[in-house]
Amino acid sequence: MSRAGWRWGASIVGVDRVGGERADRRPPHRLVLVVALVGAGLASMLPSGSALADPPLKTRATGVVSVSYGEFMTIKRSPARDKVFDWSTDGCSWTPPPWSWEQRAPCEQHDFGYRNFGNGLRLERTEDRRAWIDRRFLTEMLRNCRQHWWYPSCVDGAYTMYAVVRNFNNWRD
């Protein structure tokens, strides 16, 4: 719009507050109708609800298993954690001390993977996914051993526990 056609303080519709003359600057009714219809059409093509903001459940679960065991425990203890997942655990079932308490956090993370990918939600109940979860378990147990170098026989225990879940577990826990 040119400067000549508009003055500061002028209203869009009605009487100009500065000079008193009429300043009809309404958009044509047909244009308003077209814009409204196009906007409504575009809006109807978008997914409804929280689908825009939330990544798929499998992606979120993969992210939880992918973090370090320390980050996992922080997420698990958070009141804002994802409630749709099964966070239950039996710790390091059938594992003798001291390995059962030394590797408690990696065991809980491993349980999360099995309960949400294999049992329970069954996000991806495949042997490839189980192998990935078991490799993550070994990775986190070895991280735990490096961080707690004073744990007796930690590395041997990590490899033994990994061998047991690879050879004797099939998504049961």
Tell me the β-bridge partners of 15: 22
pLDDT at 44: 47
Banded model confidence at residue 169, pLDDT cuts 50, 70, 90: confident
pLDDT at 20: 54
pLDDT at 31: 47
pTM over 0.75: no
pLDDT at 120: 81
Burial class (CB in 10 A: 0-12, 13-18, 19+), 60: middle
Instruction: For 45, list phi and psi in degrees, rounded to 5.
Output: -85, -15
b/e code 128-154 from CB counts within 10 Å (16+ = b): ebbebbbebbbbbbbbbbeeeeebeeb
Question: Do residues 98 and 151 lie in contact, with contact meaning Cβ atoms separated by under 8 Å?
Answer: yes
The arithmetic mean of pLDDT across residues 132-143, rounded, is 98
